[in-house]
Chain A
Amino acid sequence: MNAFAALADDTRREIVRLVAKNGELTSTEIGENFNITAPAISHHLKVLKSAKLLNMKKEAQKRIYSLNGSSVSEMEDWILEIIDLWKKRLDKLDRYVLKLKKERTRDKK
């Protein structure tokens, strides 16, 4: 699952927010903030890890999660690209509709 699809879920978005705010959290600490079962939390964490939004390291029995900064900045770059793309597209649209308008006015005459 890609990062955007992973973040489309409310709970997963909350988890990312929580981890980003705290730096590092264990799966138990994350679970304490939600009213859902441990297996459900662990499923969400698995998705976030596979989407590379969270990093996980093991310390003894604990699983510690932190934000994966590089994937977050990849998302940022992607959004910036989209914005730039649309600016260019709208410029092109503007030239095209003005051309159409001119052609149609001429045809009417």
Chain B
Amino acid sequence: MIKNNVETIIEGNKVVYKRYFDVSTELLFEVWSMPEHLSEWWGPDGFTLTTKRMDFINGGIWEFVMHGPDGHDSKNKIQFTDIKEPHYIYYKHLGDGEGDQDVHFESKIIFEKVEEGTNLIMEQIFPSKEELERVNGKYGAIEGAKQHIGNLAKYLETLK
């Protein structure tokens, strides 16, 4: 699990996530591009997902509803802006699924083949650099604290 831990970097107005997956690039791309796969992992724990429509082509729309464990539904609408199988998927968020307003929050999902596995590089692009820098400061502290607690837990395990 440690090898597969996600690395988060905040650069300018982007949040970059990097993570290694021990599966082929083709398989990883496949689970990002088909509604039956997406519903298996996209939602946080306890959530389910219903795809209303998905047009997995450049300019195509993916509309889905996330059902929360508390019964709350949230609508989502995403537009694929550029797709190149199995190398990358770019998309942008179009608000809450009601309107077509571009909220200028873009994502780039990049699949990089490494030996037997795949590095997933995901960039989320936000409008404000300053905000992300401040968040980074805050987040760095939170992450540090989490790791600290994790290490303590591991150490306590060895004492059992």
Given contacts A7-B128, A17-B130, A93-B41, contact A76 B138 (CB under 8 A): yes
Q: Is B8's CB under 8 angstroms from A83's CB?
A: yes
Give every chain B residue within 8 A of A82 (Cβ-Cβ).
15, 124
A93 partner, pick from B15, B31, B134, B135, beta carbons under 8 A: B31
A80 vs B131: C-alpha distance when bound (angstroms): 11
A58 vs B107: C-alpha distance when bound (angstroms): 40
Q: Give the residues from 85 to 122 in chain B that come closer than 8 angstroms, CB to CB, to chain A.
A: 101-105, 120, 122
Total cross-chain contacts (CB, 8 A): 90
Q: Is A89's CB under 8 angstroms from B41's CB?
A: yes
Task: Report the contact-size class of chain A (Cβ under 8 Å from the partner).
Answer: 20 to 34
Q: Is B130's CB under 8 angstroms from A20's CB?
A: yes
A79 partner, pick from B28, B41, B135, beta carbons under 8 A: B135
Q: Is B105's CB under 8 angstroms from A4's CB?
A: yes
Q: Is A85's CB under 8 angstroms from B44's CB?
A: yes
Asked if A75 is an interface residue, CB under 8 A from chain B, the answer is yes
A16 vs B40: C-alpha distance when bound (angstroms): 41
Q: Is A8's CB under 8 angstroms from B103's CB?
A: yes
Binds A, one of B19-27, B50-58, B73-81, B149-157: B19-27
B15 to chain A, nearest CB (A): 6
Given contacts A5-B104, A88-B45, contact A76 B134 (CB under 8 A): yes
Known: A82-B124, A101-B23. 13 other contacts (CB 8 A): A5-B101, A7-B127, A7-B128, A8-B104, A13-B127, A16-B128, A76-B134, A90-B120, A92-B45, A94-B4, A97-B23, A100-B23, A101-B27
Q: What are 27 A-B contacts with C-beta separation under 8 Å?
A: A4-B105, A7-B104, A16-B128, A75-B128, A76-B131, A76-B138, A79-B15, A79-B126, A79-B132, A80-B135, A80-B138, A82-B124, A83-B15, A86-B17, A87-B6, A88-B45, A89-B41, A89-B43, A90-B6, A90-B19, A92-B44, A94-B4, A95-B41, A96-B31, A97-B28, A101-B23, A104-B27
Interface residues in chain A, defined as those with a beta carbon under 8 Å from any beta carbon in chain B: 2, 4-5, 7-8, 13, 16-17, 20, 72, 75-76, 79-80, 82-83, 85-98, 100-101, 104
Ordered nearest first, which 5 A-B pairs have the shortest CB separation?
A: A8-B104, A7-B127, A92-B41, A96-B41, A93-B41
